[in-house]
Amino acid sequence: MTRSQMMGAVHSEDTKPEIVVRRALFQAGFRYRLHRRDLPGTPDIFVQKYGVAIFVNGCFWHQHGCKLTTRPKSNAAFWNNKFDNNIVRDIRTQHQLSLMGIRVAVVWECSLRNDIRHGCRDVSTTPDEVRREPQAENKMGAALTLERLMNFIRGDEETIEL
């Protein structure tokens, strides 16, 4: 990506991974509000009935640490500063929401992609029949993530990172 493309991406709210999550939730019967600016961090998705804020994080912008996480070599100081600010802001936002009694789910972009292995997947939770065949495992990526997200929404855990 060129720098101007990257800057453009910062401001785009309807990123594709977010739409994947929205569509799945809607089809499963969840109703939600988008980008509520009156809540800390302007959550991508807010499921009022369950008091759950969902952030669909781009691995690059939020520096996930997976294989989608790169740091540009040019203007390194500029980017490092920007990324560090993003990371600090994410932590502060989650804390503020927790204090308000809002449960927080962070869904990483890579966990919704079926063409790469999810960087932080706990392999022990992957069913045997899926684990044998790498391609099948990848296909389970987004489906498993969305299923776990919905279980979280209906459950009572305070936070989850997928």
* Interaction site with Zn ion (CB under 5 A): 59, 64, 66, 68, 108, 110, 119
Tally: H helices and E strands in the chain: 5, 5
Cβ 145 to Zn ion, closest distance in Å?
11
Cβ 69 to Zn ion, closest distance in Å?
6
Helices 134-154 and 16-27: angle between axes, nearest 10 degrees? 60
Cβ 143 to Zn ion, closest distance in Å?
17
Closer residue to Zn ion in complex, CB, 36/117: 117
Tokens read off for 41: 């961090």
Closer residue to Zn ion in complex, CB, 24/106: 106
Closer residue to Zn ion in complex, CB, 53/66: 66
DSSP per residue over 57-102, as a string? E-TTTTT-SSTT----STTHHHHHHHHHHHHHHHHHHHHHHHHTT-
